[in-house]
Amino acid sequence: MLPVLTMARKSNKVWWLSPLLILVGCQEAPLVQSVTSFSQDAWYADSAIVVDVDVQDTLAVYRVDFQVRHTADYPYSNLYLFREIRSAHQSEYQDTVEVRLADAQGAWYGTGIGALKTLNLPYKQAGLRFPKRGVYRFRFQHGMRDEPLRGIRDFALTIEEEKPE
């Protein structure tokens, strides 16, 4: 009798999981989803991450996120990034940001099991609007003094249109 009870519980879980899978499967794909992996977990300062985005809808607001995946061997609690967005004619936005990867006691932020952690961050707190149609170039470069910067495994950029609620 016990196997029947176990089977009933499993099918009950599948029943709850099915609507979730349908909802997730029906979401629109992001405008951009780009992942850059670093050989031997080493990011060289002259290896800028460049992602070109073709924007056609200038009325839309876009959510821009970036993800940093690092190993427990990363020697610092922070990461400085030089960030820039360029259009065909000019620099639209440029800044330097400090990404906190760990707290003061050294506990890593982000998700992950074991020695690999992933931190997901918004590019800006508010969504981005692009003033003109065309190709925009997102550029990221680390601003740390180490050459190469060890312990960084991947860097990802995701851009998706925000839907009004």
pLDDT (0 to 100) of residue 26:
56
- The answer, yes or no, to whether residue 37 has pLDDT greater than 50, is yes
Q: In which band, very low, low, confident or very high, does the pLDDT at 19 lie, cut at 50, 70 and 90? A: very low
Residue closest to 65 by CA, chosen among 42, 35, 23: 35
pLDDT (0 to 100) of residue 41:
96
Pairwise pLDDT comparison (16 vs 72), residue with the higher score: 72
Q: What value does the mean pLDDT of the chain take?
A: 86
pLDDT (0 to 100) of residue 27:
64
For domain 29-161, which CATH number applies: 3.40.50, 1.25.40, 1.10.10, 2.60.120?
2.60.120
- The answer, yes or no, to whether residue 60 has pLDDT greater than 90, is yes
pLDDT (0 to 100) of residue 143:
97
Q: pLDDT of 114-165, one tens digit each?
A: 899 999 999 998 999 999 999 999 999 999 999 999 999 999 999 999 987 7
Distances (CA, A) of 110 to 71, 73, 101, 113, 122: 12, 15, 8, 10, 13
Pairwise pLDDT comparison (26 vs 43), residue with the higher score: 43
HSE, side-chain direction, 13 A CA sphere, residue 139: 20
Preceding omega of 75 cis (within 30 degrees of 0) = no
Give yes or no for a contact between 73 and 150, defined as CB atoms under 8 angstroms apart: yes
- The answer, yes or no, to whether residue 7 has pLDDT greater than 50, is no
Q: In sequence order, which ranges of 26-159 are alpha helices (DSSP H)?
A: none
- Mean pLDDT along residues 91-99: 95
Q: pLDDT of 62-71, one tens digit each?
A: 999 999 999 9
pLDDT (0 to 100) of residue 28:
77
